[in-house]
């Protein structure tokens, strides 16, 4: 170790160095390296780097988003069902289910951060529910 230290700071394999501010702060806080001489003494706990983190939104906004999502989900199921119950023509039922499935897929893909496979699964389940509405022949009144 003594021989390596005499080679200089660039050649010393036992010397811990970093160019990243957050890593330097962590090393200083753990007392693994000496305090930086360039750091002002008036700000000993101020980190030099920041961790990326998602912004927290207020609870009121999260509740409002959940209520809006629940309302949209209910409307996306009840809307085509009501239209298909009022119309008896099969072609109209197929067009309504296709339009609602495409609109649901577009809205879900924009508002979700899921992967393509999960989005395809959710849209497939929604389309299967709409197909059940199309195949269901309501009794004549």
Q: What is the secondary structure of 29-88 as a DSSP string?
A: HTTSSPPPTTS-TT-TT--SS----PPPPPHHHHHHHHHHHHHHHHHHHHHHHHHHHH--
**Residue 123, CB half-sphere, CA atoms under 13 Å: how many?**
21
Q: Which residues contact 119 (CB under 8 A, 6 or more apart)?
A: 105, 108, 109, 112
Q: For each of the chain's 141 residues, which pLDDT tens digit applies?
A: 566 656 666 666 666 777 787 887 787 777 776 655 555 544 555 555 554 545 566 778 888 888 988 898 888 889 988 888 888 888 888 898 899 999 999 988 888 888 889 989 999 999 998 888 777 765 555
Residue 121, pLDDT score: 93
Q: Chain-wide mean pLDDT for the chain?
A: 77
Whether this prediction's pTM lies above 0.75 is answered by no
Residue 67, pLDDT score: 92
Residue 125, pLDDT score: 92
């Amino acid at each position: 170790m003594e021989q390596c230290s005499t080679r200089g700071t660039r050649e010393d394999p036992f010397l811990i160095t970093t160019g990243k501010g957050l890593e330097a702060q962590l090393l200083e806080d753990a007392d693994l390296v000496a305090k930086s001489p360039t750091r002002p003494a008036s700000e000993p706990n101020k980190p030099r780097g920041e961790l990326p983190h998602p912004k927290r939104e207020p609870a009121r906004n999260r509740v409002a988003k959940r209520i809006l999502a629940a309302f949209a989900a209910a409307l996306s199921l009840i809307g085509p069902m009501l239209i298909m119950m009022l119309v008896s023509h099969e072609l109209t039922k197929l067009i309504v289910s296709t339009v609602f499935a495409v609109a649901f897929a577009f809205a879900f893909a924009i508002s979700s951060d899921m992967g393509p496979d999960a989005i395809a699964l959710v849209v497939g389940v929604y389309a299967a529910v709409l197909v059940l509405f199309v195949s269901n022949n309501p009794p004549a009144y």
